[in-house]
């Protein structure tokens, strides 16, 4: 870890993600000298390559704007690089390196042939017109296209990149290369997108939670849930929780959170979807529309009494104070929808507490898993129906859960899902790398 810190100065998120994995892999490697001798962990913690490039575009007033774009290709031992693109003012190299590193283990856990990558830009889509977003996406792809391909690197969406952005990116790739191929996932269904990809991450989080609860002979019916975020992952996790009989109390965005003590029902959730996906409005507007709900400016929802907490917004949004508040209210399960939403201190508290704690690289893998299925459908020139895909997603999440249990069960029978996910995710990539020799 000393070397990782030295080689990556100022990259706190990346170091945090490597530390999270190393704390479980270093003891594991002690019994597996072949991984140690081949320096496997050290090699996974050094991205295969990072491409960084200038992205120029013109805003609606004719001003020239200059942003930076990146693609971090972390590891392609088990398949082409695969992982989302993030457009946010908070994007930097450290954030994308942590995400690409995590993605390598997550994608391995799915059992599908996908390596790990991530990319994006510090472009802030908030408040931009459709035309501005289109011009930015076209300029971004004008450089990215030479580094990606269906057998090379297959990007998708993440924060700030949804169906609209994927459309503009795919259109530009097609124009530049003259080829229609499955180079991006998360496409709309009219041009090769998979059914269920939009819902898959949020639904998958709930399927994973359902498996964890089953082991304790518990179900979701009647449980109260606190969710952060109000984007793709949060809204679909909320939808699935509600359909399983749980009561969703909160949603949030970067301005604060809303608390609806009556619970967010289907009609209210539909309203939020229109607000967030079509109008691109703020979550605080919820209280103007629905009586009894409160908006808490600048706050996260972790003080709200609940059985289940799903952090679904962004990294390090759940700190030690939040963890203490949740544990103080006897939370039963914390399952990570966002990538690395718990700080290292919060994560350590959850692991020690004996509650059900589902780490992101396992719990939110449903999204990239359905992306993997989108790649298969594109290659085969077929389109599977919703039910088939939902059954596949359910099976994949059960399988990831079982892998965590297999590699993470302590002598006393308690399951440490973090250790289970780290070891199971590592092993497959490590064995593939051993097979390739030192390259």
Ligand X SMILES: O=C(O)CCC(=O)C(=O)O
**Residue 378 makes contact with ligand X by CB under 6 A:** no
Closest CA to 171 of 130, 197, 142, 132: 142
Structure tokens at 154: 């297959």
Report the relative pairing of strands 224-228 and 308-311 from DSSP bridges: parallel
CA atoms within 13 A on the CB side of 4: 25
Structure tokens at 249: 């109390």
Q: Does residue 378 sit in helix, strand or coil? A: helix
Site for ligand NAI in 308-347 (CB under 6 A): 312-314, 317, 337-339
Structure tokens at 145: 């296209």
Considering only residues 92, 124, 177, 254, which one is a binding residue for ligand NAI as defined by CB under 6 A?
254
Distance CA 134, CA 59 (A): 10
Cβ 332 to ligand NAI shortest distance, Å: 22
Q: Does residue 329 sit in helix, strand or coil? A: coil
Considering only residues 83, 182, 311, 420, which one is a binding residue for ligand X as defined by CB under 6 A?
83
Report, as residue numbers or ranges, the catalytic residues. Answer: 118
Only one of the segments 80-88, 264-272, 273-281, 299-307 lies at the binding site for ligand X (rule: CB under 6 A); that segment is: 80-88
**Residue 139 makes contact with ligand NAI by CB under 6 A:** no
Distance of CA 126 to the CA centre of its chain: 20
Among ligand NAI, ligand X, none, the one that 346 touches (CB under a kind-dependent 5 to 8 A) is: none
One character per residue 356-375, x = contact with ligand NAI (rule: CB under 6 A): --------x--x--------
119 and 39 Cβ atoms separated by less than 8 Å? no
Considering only residues 47, 80, 84, 311, which one is a binding residue for ligand X as defined by CB under 6 A?
84
Cβ 315 to ligand NAI shortest distance, Å: 6
Among ligand NAI, ligand X, none, the one that 195 touches (CB under a kind-dependent 5 to 8 A) is: none
Structure tokens at 298: 């600048």
- Cβ distance to ligand NAI smaller for residue 29 or 238: 238
351 and 357 Cβ atoms separated by less than 8 Å? yes
**Residue 155 makes contact with ligand NAI by CB under 6 A:** no
Considering only residues 368, 393, 429, 432, which one is a binding residue for ligand X as defined by CB under 6 A?
368
Distance CA 375, CA 83 (A): 12
Cβ 348 to ligand X shortest distance, Å: 23
CA atoms within 13 A on the CB side of 433: 24
Q: Given the rule CB under 6 A, which residues bind ligand X? A: 82-84, 103, 106, 156, 158, 185, 339, 367-368, 371
Q: Given the rule CB under 6 A, which residues bind ligand NAI? A: 157-160, 201, 229-234, 252-254, 312-314, 317, 337-339, 364, 367
């Amino acid at each position: 870890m000393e070397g990782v810190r030295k080689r990556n100065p100022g990259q706190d998120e990346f170091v945090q993600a490597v530390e999270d994995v190393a704390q479980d892999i270093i003891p594991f490697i002690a019994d597996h000298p072949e991984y140690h001798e081949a320096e496997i962990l050290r090699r996974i913690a050094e991205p295969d390559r990072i491409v960084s490039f200038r992205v120029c575009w013109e805003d609606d007033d004719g001003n020239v704007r200059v942003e930076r774009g990146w693609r971090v290709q972390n590891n392609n031992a088990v398949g082409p690089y695969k992982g989302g693109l993030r457009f946010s003012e908070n994007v930097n190299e450290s954030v994308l390196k942590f995400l690409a590193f995590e993605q390598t283990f997550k994608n391995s856990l799915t059992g599908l042939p996908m390596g790990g990558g991530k990319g994006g830009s510090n472009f802030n889509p908030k408040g931009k017109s459709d035309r501005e977003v289109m011009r930015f996406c076209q300029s971004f792809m004008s450089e990215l296209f030479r580094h990606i391909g269906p057998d090379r690197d297959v990007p998708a969406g993440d924060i700030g990149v949804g169906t609209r952005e994927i459309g503009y990116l795919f259109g530009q790739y097609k124009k530049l290369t003259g080829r229609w191929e499955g180079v991006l996932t998360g496409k709309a269904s009219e041009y090769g997108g998979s059914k269920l990809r939009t819902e898959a991450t949020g639904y998958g989080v709930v399927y994973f939670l359902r498996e964890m609860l089953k082991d304790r002979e518990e179900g979701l019916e009647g449980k109260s849930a606190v969710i952060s975020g109000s984007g793709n992952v949060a809204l679909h996790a909320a939808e699935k929780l509600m359909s399983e009989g749980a009561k969703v109390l909160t949603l949030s965005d970067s301005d604060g959170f809303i608390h609806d003590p009556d619970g967010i029902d289907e009609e209210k959730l539909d309203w939020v979807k229109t607000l967030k996906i079509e109008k691109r409005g703020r979550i605080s507007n919820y209280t103007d529309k629905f009586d009894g709900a409160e908006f808490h400016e600048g706050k996260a929802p972790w003080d709200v009494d609940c059985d289940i907490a799903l952090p679904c917004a962004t990294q390090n949004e759940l700190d030690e104070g939040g963890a203490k508040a949740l544990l103080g209210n006897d939370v039963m399960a914390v399952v990570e929808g966002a990538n690395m939403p718990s700080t290292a201190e919060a994560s350590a508290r959850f692991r020690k507490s004996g509650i059900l704690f589902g780490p992101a690289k396992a719990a939110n893998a449903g999204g990239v898993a359905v992306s993997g299925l989108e790649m298969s459908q594109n290659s085969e020139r077929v389109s599977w129906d919703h039910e088939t895909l939902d059954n596949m997603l359910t099976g994949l999440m059960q399988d990831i859960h079982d892998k965590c249990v297999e590699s993470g069960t302590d002598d006393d029978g308690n399951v440490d899902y973090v250790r289970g996910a780290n070891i199971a995710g590592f092993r497959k990539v490590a064995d593939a790398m051993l097979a390739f020799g030192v390259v």
